[in-house]
Amino acid sequence: MNTYDVEYLEFPITHLCSLHCDGCSAYANYALSNMVTLEQAEVWLTSWGRRVKPKFFRILGGEPFLNPMLPQIVILARAIFPQADIQVCTNGLNFDRHPEMPFLLRTLNVGLFLSVHSQDKKYLPKVRAAIDQMQAWHTNEGIRIGFGDNIHNWNRFYKGIGEDMLPFTDADPKASWEVCHSKHCVNLVDGRLWKCPQIGNLHIVGEKFGLGSKPEWAPYLAYKGLGLEATDKELVSFFTKSTEAVCGMCPSRLDNYRKDIQNVRFKMPGIERLEIASEHVESLENLPEVLREIGIVSEVPA
Ligand code: SF4
Ligand code: SF4
Protein backbone atom coordinates (compact mmCIF):
# COMPACT_ATOMS: atom_id res chain seq x y z
CA MET A 1 0.00 0.00 0.00
CA ASN A 2 1.28 3.48 -0.88
CA THR A 3 0.34 6.90 0.45
CA TYR A 4 -1.11 9.19 -2.22
CA ASP A 5 -1.04 12.97 -2.37
CA VAL A 6 -4.57 14.27 -2.80
CA GLU A 7 -5.75 17.83 -3.12
CA TYR A 8 -8.59 17.98 -0.65
CA LEU A 9 -10.41 16.02 2.05
CA GLU A 10 -13.32 17.05 4.27
CA PHE A 11 -14.10 15.59 7.67
CA PRO A 12 -17.56 16.35 9.14
CA ILE A 13 -17.24 15.80 12.90
CA THR A 14 -20.89 16.33 13.78
CA HIS A 15 -24.23 16.71 12.07
CA LEU A 16 -25.56 19.01 14.77
CA CYS A 17 -25.73 22.67 13.87
CA SER A 18 -26.90 25.90 15.46
CA LEU A 19 -28.36 27.01 12.13
CA HIS A 20 -30.91 25.27 10.01
CA CYS A 21 -29.97 25.99 6.42
CA ASP A 22 -32.46 24.48 4.06
CA GLY A 23 -30.37 22.59 1.51
CA CYS A 24 -27.33 22.03 3.76
CA SER A 25 -25.04 19.56 2.00
CA ALA A 26 -24.50 17.68 5.29
CA TYR A 27 -28.26 17.62 6.01
CA ALA A 28 -27.38 19.35 9.29
CA ASN A 29 -30.66 21.27 9.06
CA TYR A 30 -32.43 18.08 10.11
CA ALA A 31 -31.02 17.96 13.64
CA LEU A 32 -29.19 14.72 13.01
CA SER A 33 -27.54 13.73 16.25
CA ASN A 34 -24.35 12.13 14.87
CA MET A 35 -21.25 13.16 16.73
CA VAL A 36 -17.81 11.79 15.83
CA THR A 37 -16.05 10.59 18.97
CA LEU A 38 -12.35 11.04 19.56
CA GLU A 39 -11.91 7.27 19.33
CA GLN A 40 -13.60 7.16 15.92
CA ALA A 41 -11.57 10.13 14.71
CA GLU A 42 -8.38 8.43 15.86
CA VAL A 43 -9.15 5.17 14.05
CA TRP A 44 -10.39 6.80 10.84
CA LEU A 45 -7.70 9.46 10.55
CA THR A 46 -4.87 7.12 11.49
CA SER A 47 -5.92 4.47 8.99
CA TRP A 48 -6.71 6.85 6.12
CA GLY A 49 -3.58 8.85 6.97
CA ARG A 50 -1.59 5.80 5.81
CA ARG A 51 -3.35 5.90 2.41
CA VAL A 52 -3.77 9.61 1.59
CA LYS A 53 -1.90 12.83 2.24
CA PRO A 54 -4.30 15.75 1.63
CA LYS A 55 -2.85 19.14 0.75
CA PHE A 56 -5.94 20.77 2.23
CA PHE A 57 -7.85 19.15 5.09
CA ARG A 58 -11.08 20.72 6.28
CA ILE A 59 -12.78 19.93 9.59
CA LEU A 60 -16.44 20.86 9.43
CA GLY A 61 -19.95 19.78 10.36
CA GLY A 62 -22.74 20.57 11.03
CA GLU A 63 -21.09 23.05 13.33
CA PRO A 64 -17.73 21.64 14.49
CA PHE A 65 -17.68 23.83 17.63
CA LEU A 66 -20.66 21.75 18.88
CA ASN A 67 -18.45 18.67 19.05
CA PRO A 68 -16.97 18.55 22.60
CA MET A 69 -13.88 16.83 21.16
CA LEU A 70 -13.08 19.52 18.58
CA PRO A 71 -9.77 20.57 20.22
CA GLN A 72 -8.57 16.98 20.48
CA ILE A 73 -9.61 16.24 16.90
CA VAL A 74 -7.70 19.29 15.67
CA ILE A 75 -4.60 18.13 17.56
CA LEU A 76 -5.00 14.66 16.09
CA ALA A 77 -5.43 15.98 12.56
CA ARG A 78 -2.28 18.07 12.83
CA ALA A 79 -0.32 15.06 14.13
CA ILE A 80 -1.53 12.85 11.26
CA PHE A 81 -1.28 15.45 8.50
CA PRO A 82 1.75 17.54 9.55
CA GLN A 83 2.18 19.16 6.12
CA ALA A 84 -1.47 19.85 5.32
CA ASP A 85 -3.20 23.18 5.20
CA ILE A 86 -5.80 22.41 7.89
CA GLN A 87 -8.87 24.53 8.37
CA VAL A 88 -11.88 24.47 10.70
CA CYS A 89 -15.01 25.62 8.90
CA THR A 90 -17.63 27.23 11.17
CA ASN A 91 -20.79 29.33 11.28
CA GLY A 92 -19.20 31.32 14.13
CA LEU A 93 -22.11 31.09 16.57
CA ASN A 94 -20.57 28.73 19.13
CA PHE A 95 -17.01 29.91 19.78
CA ASP A 96 -17.81 30.04 23.51
CA ARG A 97 -17.90 26.23 23.60
CA HIS A 98 -14.11 26.03 23.15
CA PRO A 99 -12.17 28.94 24.64
CA GLU A 100 -8.93 27.02 24.08
CA MET A 101 -9.35 27.03 20.30
CA PRO A 102 -7.53 30.31 19.51
CA PHE A 103 -4.43 28.97 21.27
CA LEU A 104 -4.63 25.70 19.35
CA LEU A 105 -5.28 27.37 16.00
CA ARG A 106 -2.23 29.57 16.50
CA THR A 107 0.17 26.96 17.82
CA LEU A 108 -0.88 24.27 15.33
CA ASN A 109 -1.14 26.69 12.40
CA VAL A 110 -4.74 25.73 11.67
CA GLY A 111 -6.97 28.22 9.86
CA LEU A 112 -10.52 29.23 10.75
CA PHE A 113 -13.07 29.84 8.00
CA LEU A 114 -16.49 31.35 8.61
CA SER A 115 -19.39 31.16 6.17
CA VAL A 116 -22.12 33.79 6.22
CA HIS A 117 -25.51 32.22 5.62
CA SER A 118 -28.21 34.84 5.67
CA GLN A 119 -28.96 38.52 5.53
CA ASP A 120 -31.70 38.59 8.14
CA LYS A 121 -31.43 41.29 10.75
CA LYS A 122 -31.43 39.05 13.79
CA TYR A 123 -28.66 36.81 12.53
CA LEU A 124 -26.33 39.51 11.21
CA PRO A 125 -25.34 41.00 14.62
CA LYS A 126 -24.42 37.52 15.84
CA VAL A 127 -22.31 36.69 12.83
CA ARG A 128 -20.79 40.14 12.89
CA ALA A 129 -19.67 39.58 16.49
CA ALA A 130 -18.04 36.33 15.36
CA ILE A 131 -16.32 38.10 12.47
CA ASP A 132 -15.03 40.83 14.80
CA GLN A 133 -13.73 38.14 17.15
CA MET A 134 -11.93 36.36 14.33
CA GLN A 135 -10.43 39.59 13.05
CA ALA A 136 -9.11 40.28 16.56
CA TRP A 137 -7.59 36.78 16.70
CA HIS A 138 -5.96 37.43 13.36
CA THR A 139 -4.58 40.82 14.36
CA ASN A 140 -3.48 39.94 17.87
CA GLU A 141 -2.46 36.31 17.51
CA GLY A 142 -1.77 35.83 13.80
CA ILE A 143 -4.47 33.20 13.36
CA ARG A 144 -5.26 32.54 9.71
CA ILE A 145 -8.87 33.40 8.95
CA GLY A 146 -11.19 33.41 5.96
CA PHE A 147 -14.77 34.30 5.19
CA GLY A 148 -17.18 32.97 2.63
CA ASP A 149 -20.50 33.86 1.13
CA ASN A 150 -23.03 31.07 1.52
CA ILE A 151 -25.93 33.29 0.52
CA HIS A 152 -25.34 33.78 -3.18
CA ASN A 153 -25.03 30.64 -5.25
CA TRP A 154 -26.98 28.51 -2.79
CA ASN A 155 -28.67 25.73 -4.66
CA ARG A 156 -31.01 22.84 -4.02
CA PHE A 157 -29.58 19.41 -4.72
CA TYR A 158 -32.71 17.42 -3.89
CA LYS A 159 -36.43 18.11 -4.12
CA GLY A 160 -38.77 18.39 -1.15
CA ILE A 161 -37.84 18.44 2.51
CA GLY A 162 -37.41 15.83 5.25
CA GLU A 163 -39.42 12.69 4.67
CA ASP A 164 -40.64 14.15 1.35
CA MET A 165 -37.11 14.43 -0.04
CA LEU A 166 -36.65 13.08 -3.55
CA PRO A 167 -33.68 13.01 -5.92
CA PHE A 168 -33.69 15.01 -9.13
CA THR A 169 -34.54 13.05 -12.25
CA ASP A 170 -32.73 15.12 -14.87
CA ALA A 171 -30.98 11.91 -16.00
CA ASP A 172 -27.82 13.75 -16.97
CA PRO A 173 -25.18 12.94 -14.32
CA LYS A 174 -22.40 14.48 -16.39
CA ALA A 175 -24.19 17.83 -16.58
CA SER A 176 -25.00 17.61 -12.85
CA TRP A 177 -21.34 17.02 -12.01
CA GLU A 178 -20.20 19.85 -14.24
CA VAL A 179 -22.34 22.47 -12.48
CA CYS A 180 -21.81 20.99 -8.99
CA HIS A 181 -20.18 23.12 -6.25
CA SER A 182 -19.15 19.99 -4.31
CA LYS A 183 -17.51 18.01 -7.07
CA HIS A 184 -14.06 18.08 -5.45
CA CYS A 185 -15.25 17.67 -1.84
CA VAL A 186 -14.38 14.08 -0.92
CA ASN A 187 -15.77 13.38 2.57
CA LEU A 188 -14.62 11.04 5.33
CA VAL A 189 -17.84 9.74 6.91
CA ASP A 190 -18.22 6.64 9.08
CA GLY A 191 -14.69 5.55 8.27
CA ARG A 192 -15.22 5.55 4.49
CA LEU A 193 -14.46 8.04 1.73
CA TRP A 194 -17.42 9.39 -0.21
CA LYS A 195 -17.51 11.43 -3.39
CA CYS A 196 -19.07 14.48 -1.74
CA PRO A 197 -21.03 15.47 1.39
CA GLN A 198 -24.36 15.08 -0.40
CA ILE A 199 -23.83 11.38 -1.06
CA GLY A 200 -21.61 10.74 1.98
CA ASN A 201 -24.26 11.83 4.43
CA LEU A 202 -27.27 10.53 2.53
CA HIS A 203 -27.42 7.23 4.44
CA ILE A 204 -27.63 9.17 7.71
CA VAL A 205 -30.54 11.38 6.68
CA GLY A 206 -32.03 8.40 4.87
CA GLU A 207 -32.20 6.50 8.12
CA LYS A 208 -33.92 9.38 9.89
CA PHE A 209 -36.61 9.82 7.27
CA GLY A 210 -36.99 6.24 6.03
CA LEU A 211 -35.81 7.15 2.55
CA GLY A 212 -34.90 3.50 2.00
CA SER A 213 -38.57 2.76 1.42
CA LYS A 214 -38.61 5.06 -1.62
CA PRO A 215 -37.46 3.35 -4.81
CA GLU A 216 -36.25 6.69 -6.19
CA TRP A 217 -33.47 6.73 -3.58
CA ALA A 218 -32.44 3.08 -3.97
CA PRO A 219 -29.55 3.56 -6.44
CA TYR A 220 -28.11 6.38 -4.34
CA LEU A 221 -28.45 4.66 -0.97
CA ALA A 222 -26.72 1.65 -2.52
CA TYR A 223 -23.55 3.72 -3.06
CA LYS A 224 -21.02 2.91 -0.35
CA GLY A 225 -18.04 5.06 -1.26
CA LEU A 226 -14.57 3.64 -0.68
CA GLY A 227 -13.38 1.56 2.26
CA LEU A 228 -9.90 0.83 3.54
CA GLU A 229 -9.98 -2.49 1.71
CA ALA A 230 -9.64 -0.59 -1.59
CA THR A 231 -6.54 -1.29 -3.63
CA ASP A 232 -4.14 1.51 -4.56
CA LYS A 233 -5.55 1.46 -8.06
CA GLU A 234 -9.10 1.85 -6.79
CA LEU A 235 -8.00 4.69 -4.53
CA VAL A 236 -6.36 6.62 -7.35
CA SER A 237 -9.34 6.01 -9.58
CA PHE A 238 -11.70 7.25 -6.85
CA PHE A 239 -9.87 10.57 -6.53
CA THR A 240 -9.47 11.13 -10.25
CA LYS A 241 -12.97 10.17 -11.37
CA SER A 242 -15.22 13.00 -12.49
CA THR A 243 -18.88 12.07 -13.05
CA GLU A 244 -20.27 9.03 -11.24
CA ALA A 245 -23.72 7.49 -11.65
CA VAL A 246 -24.74 8.93 -8.26
CA CYS A 247 -24.45 12.43 -9.71
CA GLY A 248 -27.79 11.64 -11.31
CA MET A 249 -29.49 12.50 -8.02
CA CYS A 250 -28.49 16.15 -8.43
CA PRO A 251 -29.85 18.89 -10.69
CA SER A 252 -28.27 19.43 -14.08
CA ARG A 253 -29.04 23.15 -13.81
CA LEU A 254 -28.67 25.18 -10.62
CA ASP A 255 -31.50 27.23 -9.17
CA ASN A 256 -30.17 29.96 -6.89
CA TYR A 257 -32.64 30.65 -4.12
CA ARG A 258 -32.86 32.39 -0.77
CA LYS A 259 -32.64 29.69 1.83
CA ASP A 260 -34.35 29.45 5.19
CA ILE A 261 -31.92 29.24 8.12
CA GLN A 262 -34.56 28.86 10.82
CA ASN A 263 -35.39 25.85 12.86
CA VAL A 264 -38.79 25.43 11.28
CA ARG A 265 -39.69 21.81 11.81
CA PHE A 266 -36.78 20.20 13.58
CA LYS A 267 -36.38 20.97 17.27
CA MET A 268 -33.05 20.44 18.96
CA PRO A 269 -33.00 20.64 22.78
CA GLY A 270 -29.99 22.26 24.38
CA ILE A 271 -28.81 24.16 21.33
CA GLU A 272 -29.47 27.85 21.00
CA ARG A 273 -31.45 28.38 17.81
CA LEU A 274 -32.15 31.64 16.07
CA GLU A 275 -35.83 32.37 15.79
CA ILE A 276 -36.17 34.75 12.91
CA ALA A 277 -39.46 36.09 11.73
CA SER A 278 -39.79 36.76 8.03
CA GLU A 279 -40.34 40.48 8.63
CA HIS A 280 -36.72 40.67 9.81
CA VAL A 281 -35.40 39.51 6.49
CA GLU A 282 -33.63 42.17 4.46
CA SER A 283 -34.53 42.50 0.85
CA LEU A 284 -32.17 40.77 -1.52
CA GLU A 285 -31.35 44.09 -3.17
CA ASN A 286 -29.55 45.19 0.00
CA LEU A 287 -27.50 42.05 0.26
CA PRO A 288 -24.29 43.14 -1.50
CA GLU A 289 -24.08 46.20 0.79
CA VAL A 290 -24.62 44.10 3.89
CA LEU A 291 -21.88 41.69 2.91
CA ARG A 292 -19.50 44.47 2.02
CA GLU A 293 -20.25 46.20 5.29
CA ILE A 294 -19.28 43.18 7.35
CA GLY A 295 -16.20 42.57 5.26
CA ILE A 296 -17.14 39.30 3.59
CA VAL A 297 -15.19 38.26 0.54
CA SER A 298 -17.37 36.83 -2.17
CA GLU A 299 -15.20 33.87 -3.14
CA VAL A 300 -15.82 30.50 -1.52
CA PRO A 301 -13.11 27.87 -2.00
CA ALA A 302 -14.05 25.25 -4.58
S1 SF4 B 1 -24.49 26.51 9.09
FE2 SF4 B 1 -26.05 25.85 7.63
S3 SF4 B 1 -24.85 25.03 5.89
FE4 SF4 B 1 -23.47 25.15 7.62
S5 SF4 B 1 -23.57 23.10 8.54
FE6 SF4 B 1 -25.07 24.40 9.61
S7 SF4 B 1 -27.01 24.02 8.56
FE8 SF4 B 1 -25.34 23.29 7.21
S1 SF4 C 1 -23.35 13.40 -6.35
FE2 SF4 C 1 -22.10 14.34 -7.95
S3 SF4 C 1 -23.27 16.12 -8.67
FE4 SF4 C 1 -24.19 15.46 -6.72
S5 SF4 C 1 -23.19 16.71 -5.18
FE6 SF4 C 1 -22.01 14.83 -5.34
S7 SF4 C 1 -20.37 15.26 -6.85
FE8 SF4 C 1 -21.96 16.84 -7.02
Dihedral-angle region of residue 272 (phi above 0 means left; psi in -120 to 50 means alpha; beta otherwise)? beta
* Cα–Cα separations (whole angstroms), residue 141 to 7, 47, 74, 105, 107: 28, 33, 18, 9, 10
| pTM over the 0.85 mark | yes
- Residue 300 is assigned to a structural domain of this protein: no
Answer whether 202 contacts ligand 2 (Cβ < 6 A): no
Alpha helices in the chain (DSSP H): 38-49, 70-80, 101-107, 123-141, 173-179, 197-200, 202-209, 218-221, 232-240, 287-293
- Residue 298 is assigned to a structural domain of this protein: no
Answer whether 36 contacts ligand 1 (Cβ < 6 A): no
Quote the pLDDT of residue 284: 42
Answer whether 31 contacts ligand 1 (Cβ < 6 A): no
- Residue 122 is assigned to a structural domain of this protein: yes
Quote the pLDDT of residue 216: 98
User: What is the number of domains present in the chain?
Assistant: 1
Quote the pLDDT of residue 22: 82
The tens digit of pLDDT for each residue in 16-49 reads 888 888 889 999 988 788 899 999 999 999 999 9
Contacts 24+ apart (CB under 8 A), 135-143: 135/295, 137/102, 137/105, 137/106, 137/112, 141/102, 141/106, 142/106, 143/102, 143/105, 143/106, 143/111, 143/112
What is the number of the ligand closest to the CA of 130? 1
- Residue 110 is assigned to a structural domain of this protein: yes
Quote the pLDDT of residue 296: 52
3-state secondary structure at position 116: strand
**CATH classification of the domain holding 276:** 3.20.20
Bond prior to 111 in cis (omega within 30° of 0): no
Quote the pLDDT of residue 96: 94
- Residue 302 is assigned to a structural domain of this protein: no
Range of the domain at 76: 4-293
10-residue block means of pLDDT along the chain (302 residues)? 94 92 89 91 98 98 95 98 97 95 97 87 86 92 89 83 89 96 96 98 94 97 97 96 96 80 50 41 48 50 34
Residue closest by Cα to atom 2 of ligand 2: 247
Answer whether 250 contacts ligand 2 (Cβ < 6 A): yes
What is the number of the ligand closest to the CA of 91? 1
| Å from CA of 237 to ligand 1 middle | 30
Answer whether 24 contacts ligand 1 (Cβ < 6 A): yes
